[in-house]
């Protein structure tokens, strides 16, 4: 699988008005920036891709899990209305503030991709960290990427 394939799926996020701003730190061995861009990282096999993006829209800081859960349910509903399937959202704790982790499937050119997307408040502005891989990709990068998004990305 080429690095362009997972990259294509991340275009879904681009359609939401995303523009790269800051550099993502990916602590996984074998991952490198795509074309020197520290906002996009690909594993050494080209099977998984991570992208950090900052949106120009406001995004609240959730102080409680209940606030985050309420927003997660609204996000799940909005994502489900788009060209994505199997949408699941959940609040995740990030150093005392709550963020939202979404997971969904997306199909493009006959290939289904699994997306994990972390929604963070960066000084009141929406920032996302998105990971993608083909649906049945068996590379070790898949679990490493999902664990990074679930527990470490911030």
Count of the separate structural domains present in the chain = 1
> What are 80's two structure tokens?
């489900």
> What are 26's two structure tokens?
């990916």
Contacts of 3 (CB under 8 A, 6+ apart): 34, 42, 46, 49
pLDDT tens digit string along 58-72?
A: 999 999 999 999 999
The 3-state secondary structure of 79-145, one letter per residue: HHCCCEEEEEEEEEEECCEEEEEEEEEEEECCEEEEEEEEEEEECCEEEEEEEEEECCCCCCHHHHH
pLDDT tens digit string along 73-102?
A: 999 999 999 889 999 999 999 888 899 999
pTM over 0.85: no
* Residue range(s) defining the domain that contains residue 46: 4-152
CA dist., res. 12 & res. 42, Å (int): 18
Local structure of residue 151 (DSSP, 8 states) = I
Nearest one of 105, 117, 112 to 150, comparing CA atoms:
117
CATH code of residue 29 = 3.40.1000.10
């Amino acid at each position: 699988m080429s690095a362009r394939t997972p990259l294509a799926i991340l275009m879904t996020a681009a359609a939401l008005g995303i523009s790269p701003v800051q550099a993502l730190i990916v602590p996984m061995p074998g991952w490198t920036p795509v074309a020197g861009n520290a906002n996009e990282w690909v594993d050494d096999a080209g099977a998984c891709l991570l992208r950090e993006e900052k949106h120009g829209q406001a995004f609240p800081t959730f102080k409680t899990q209940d606030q985050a859960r309420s927003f997660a349910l609204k996000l799940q509903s909005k994502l489900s209305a788009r060209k994505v399937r199997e949408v699941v959202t959940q609040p995740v704790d990030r150093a005392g503030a709550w963020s939202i982790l979404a997971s969904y499937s997306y199909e493009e050119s006959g290939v289904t991709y699994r997306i994990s997307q972390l929604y963070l408040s960066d000084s009141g502005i929406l920032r996302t960290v998105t990971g993608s891989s083909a649906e049945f990709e068996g590379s070790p990068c898949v679990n490493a990427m999902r664990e990074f998004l679930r527990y470490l990305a911030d």
